[in-house]
Structure 1
């Protein structure tokens, strides 16, 4: 799986703190969800990032592409990226909790679908104990959760290259904040900046303001 070169921007809420969830709107949106999840991680922290990838997820989406991962910030860390292959949900949750609580990593991203409310509370507490960030990367939006924010990611067709209409343009996605303890829900339409490799507001939407949940083409 190739991950586009993206980096955080002030358009979205601050970097992930504690536990968050990032859900792909569909199968084809998983690469965008993974890229957005990595962008959400605290880039100033020099500790490594741990990715706990389940067997089912790996069989459906493959392994992340190393150079693409380094371009979204994992290459800026002293120890880079640690990838752990886990057999099932229970093992993935255990690895995530232990890694978060240890304080040895800046963040843990795990492909877990069926975490209960109690289990997500444990992950939130573990993230606090280890001063780390945790993201559950999911195919579907789950039920009750202690996650501070829940995102739904939909990838979009690019506008096209500036100097060649036949060439693909920058990577674009809709990031919908469906649940948050701090901010009101809304949608950000974001695109890749070819010069800075940052996620920025889509040029044609800049200045529209943060809108209500359920609307499209909103920005902040």
Structure 2
């Protein structure tokens, strides 16, 4: 099942979006890259999953051998929201790219995610351009999770660096962790200005982004409750 396109926003809603810095919340499906600041950090996965709407359809999740070996597999049972995941294990980055291209041609999918370790020569500008164009042509979001990688030349429309931060306290138990927080740096975007944010998931799905300076000032007060 394909998700219906979002309704046009009013001027008041657009101003509200700018005020709360919800960068890229209503972009059309395209290719987005997420770089992990630490190769073993699970933050990039949480950051990505918060932006996938389960109602849009199943997610095709493809990982190469080194990604599984060094950072493990996605734990579907531990996801915060019910999500149908079709997991595909392959050996080489080239196989990830081929499977992503095939999946992006399937309109019943809600998203296609590829995990690629390092900087394989096959993952060049041409390969990312093919993924971006295919995602946009078929209306299926494409995500690349990059670990132990450098932000080389790419056609990805948005490129993030993401790292985990200490979680907010649980509202019912200050000794327990609550909502996760991520440091999110957008260093390339076709639609918006780059910037540095503290991101957290919203109850309705999606991300809420706060400017880093404002968030740093607010976090100690949040921890006191």
Cα distance, 1:15 vs. partner? Answer: 5.0
Q: Retained in 2: the 8 A contact 1:39–1:73?
A: no
Q: Retained in 1: the 8 A contact 2:167–2:178?
A: yes
**Post-superposition CA distance 1:142-191 (Å, at most 9, x none):** 21111110011111112433454432232111111110011001122123
Matched residue, 1:50: 60
2:96 to 84, 92, 103: 92
Query: How many corresponding residue pairs?
Result: 192
Structure 2 CA distance for aligned equivalents of residues 98 and 133 of structure 1: 13
2:51 to 20, 29, 40: 40
Alignment pair present for 1:138 and 2:146: yes
Q: Retained in 2: the 8 A contact 1:50–1:108?
A: yes
Distance 1:60 1:10, change over 3 A: same
Structure 2 CA distance for aligned equivalents of residues 197 and 28 of structure 1: 28
SS state of the match for residue 126, structure 2?
helix
Structure 2 CA distance for aligned equivalents of residues 199 and 131 of structure 1: 18
1:117 to 112, 125, 140: 125
SS state of the match for residue 13, structure 1?
coil
TM-score in terms of structure 2 length? 0.74
Q: Note the residue ranges of structure 2 that are not aligned, 5 or more in a row.
A: 1-19, 217-225
Structure 2 CA distance for aligned equivalents of residues 98 and 167 of structure 1: 42
Q: Retained in 2: the 8 A contact 1:175–1:190?
A: yes
SS state of the match for residue 21, structure 1?
strand
Structure 1 CA distance for aligned equivalents of residues 35 and 26 of structure 2: 17
Matched residue, 1:182: 191
Cα RMSD, aligned residues only: 2.8
Q: Retained in 2: the 8 A contact 1:15–1:42?
A: no
Distance 1:163 1:101, change over 3 A: closer
Structure 2 CA distance for aligned equivalents of residues 10 and 81 of structure 1: 30
Larger Rg: 2
Distance 1:93 1:15, change over 3 A: farther
Cα distance, 1:201 vs. partner? Answer: 4.4
SS state of the match for residue 40, structure 1?
coil
Q: Retained in 2: the 8 A contact 1:38–1:73?
A: no
Residues 201-216 of structure 1 aligned to structure 2 (within 5 Å):
201=208, 210=211
Distance 1:62 1:130, change over 3 A: same
Structure 2 CA distance for aligned equivalents of residues 156 and 168 of structure 1: 12
Structure 2 CA distance for aligned equivalents of residues 15 and 201 of structure 1: 13
Matched residue, 1:4: none
Structure 1 CA distance for aligned equivalents of residues 105 and 159 of structure 2: 21
Q: Retained in 2: the 8 A contact 1:117–1:146?
A: yes
